[in-house]
Amino acid sequence: MGLVLYRIFLFLYACGVEIASVFNQKAKLWYQGRQKIFKRLNKAFKGNEAPVIWFHCASLGEFEQGRPLLESLRKRHPDHKILLSFFSPSGYEIHKNYAGADWIFYLPLDSHYHARRWLSITKPRLVVFVKYEFWYFYLKAVHDKNIPLILVSALFRKEQPFFKWYGPLLHTKMLRFYSHIFVQDDNSVRLLKAIHLTNVTQTGDTRVDRVLSIRDHWTPVEAIDRFCADYPVIVAGSTWPEDDNELRHYANSHPELRFIIAPHEIGPDRLEGCLELYPGSMLYSTYMQAPKPDVHILIIDNIGRLKRLYRYATICFVGGGFGKNGIHNTLEAAVYGKPVIFGPVYEHFKETVEMEKAGAAFPVDNVLELEEILNELLADQQQYQKASQAAAAFMEQSAGATEKILSYIDKNLIPISYE
């Protein structure tokens, strides 16, 4: 019954995307990116004799999570080639030219036929799925061919289908296809053991290693240097309109501070909305051409710069917490040893809950609480330094997941290659 319902879901999903592709850009990219994919895949792999490691990520966030492991495997095993696949356009379209992989493709929608054909062409020696990807036919096909299959940086909660009464119908079966599962925390280990899964190791979150690497290779942005000068700076990253509505009063009424607003989406309507919410603000691209010294709010209108911008912050505000889906990546901000503030929807983000407990992060429920904590941190140097030190300590203590997974792979799956 579980597999029947799953097939129906896949059919409806494919129909829904095809219909939506007529009027939705993301759906259009998803649909078009999979057209003639096996013809393109055959052409790309024709003549390849090198062993292949296949990495699959749902989207952009999962790619950043798996990237430290991918790049480390490439260095340790230079005789292997890397196949990187994405499910979502937000991952593929941004990283389709990523130099760290030999091939980058959309993953065709899950089916028995697609899975068998994908494997017959690519012939991977190791398969790595990142965090939340569970596609029954692909996982089963890899398992049936006895190809090592691991899940990395996984995080489980008791509310998930794996742990419900109906879990054994389909979801638990998918977990049993994995050769090994690397999880972020003790709770995930306990949940998996409760359903008799013991091929589990707690390693932590590989995203920590990723943001530490970004921090260690940070380079300045000249225009941002000029904008920030010697002012206290609030960097608000990955904001949605709900976040900006809470922040705008404080930003508009404090010209003695500098504010950098990096919206999660940068379409024309969203950017125009930001300029209206923050009167007197300026787009980053415009500021680059003609900087104005009296502008104290900068709206970032490009992608990929946020990780570097947090370095300029006195205090970081991470968006998403005032919406329904929850906050974005707080690790990117905390890695620079800065206090982090966010909205009330954060409970499902383990690292953020732990950062709050450590005294490095501050959730707020409304604009009054937001303004209160901003004023406190800016006025009280002792409190500010305590929070900053807590953020830095949390990040250092959370590092090392990548090396733990690499050690397992080297010992059990792929011997280290020496030139």
pLDDT digits (tens, 9 = 90+) for 214-224: 999 999 999 99
Do 356 and 383 meet the contact criterion of CB atoms below 8 Å apart? no
Q: What are 252-273's pLDDT values in tens digits?
A: 999 999 999 999 999 999 999 9
In this model, does residue 1 exceed pLDDT 80?
Answer: no
Do 351 and 155 meet the contact criterion of CB atoms below 8 Å apart? Answer: no
Strands (E) located in 359-410: 361-363
Q: Provide the residue ranges of all domains of the chain, joining segments of one domain with +.
A: 2-204+400-412, 217-397
Q: Which residues contact 412 (CB under 8 A, 6 or more apart)?
A: 148, 180
* Nearest partner of 10 among 107, 78, 125, 130, judged by Cα: 107
Whether the pLDDT of residue 175 is over 90: the answer is: yes
- Cα torsion at 365, 370, 372, 375 (round to 10°)? 160
Q: What is the mean pLDDT of residues 303-308?
A: 84
Confidence grade of residue 380 (pLDDT, cut at 50, 70, 90): very high
Q: Where are the beta strands (DSSP E) in 313-372?
A: 315-318, 340-342, 361-363
CATH of 2-204+400-412 among 3.40.50.620, 3.40.50.11720, 3.10.290.10, 3.40.50.2300: 3.40.50.11720
* pLDDT beyond 90 at 416: no
- CA 199 from chain centre, in angstroms, equals 25
**Band of residue 325 on the pLDDT scale cut at 50, 70, 90:** confident
pLDDT bin (cut points 50, 70, 90) of residue 92 is very high
Task: Read off the amino acid at residue 176.
Answer: R
> Tens of pLDDT along 144-172?
999 999 999 999 999 999 999 999 999 99
Kind and range of the H or E run holding 297: strand 297-299
Return the structure tokens found at 413: 């799956």
The label of the residue with tokens 């589990």 reads 200
pLDDT value, residue 418: 42
d(CA 187, CA 155) in angstroms, rounded, equals 9
For domain 217-397, the question of CATH label 3.40.50.2000 is answered with yes
For the stretch 176-187, pLDDT in tens is 999 999 999 999
Please give the share of the chain, as a percent, with pLDDT higher than 90. Answer: 88
Confidence of residue 415 (pLDDT cuts 50, 70, 90): low
Can you tell me which residue has the tokens 């792929």? 414
Interval 334-363: pLDDT, tens: 999 999 999 999 988 889 999 999 999 999
Q: If pLDDT is split at 50, 70 and 90, which confidence band does 303 have?
A: confident
Residue bearing the bigger pLDDT, 133 or 245: 245
Please provide residue 183's backbone torsions phi and psi, each rounded to the nearest 5 degrees.
Answer: -110, 165
pLDDT of residue 419: 42
* Pair 234, 374: CB distance under 8 Å: yes
> Which pLDDT score is estimated for 291?
86
Q: Closest Cα to residue 303, out of 266, 260, 275, 261?
A: 266
R_g of the chain, CA atoms, integer Å:
23
What pLDDT does residue 154 have? 95
Q: Give 286's contacts (C-beta < 8 A, 6+ positions apart).
A: none
Q: How confident is the model at residue 290 (pLDDT cuts 50, 70, 90)?
A: confident
| pLDDT on residue 48 | 96
C-alpha to C-alpha distances, 95 to 62, 63, 106, 153, 304, nearest whole angstrom = 12, 9, 11, 20, 11
Q: At what angle do helices 268-277 and 241-252 cross, to 10 degrees?
A: 30
Q: Tell me the average pLDDT across 137-145.
A: 97
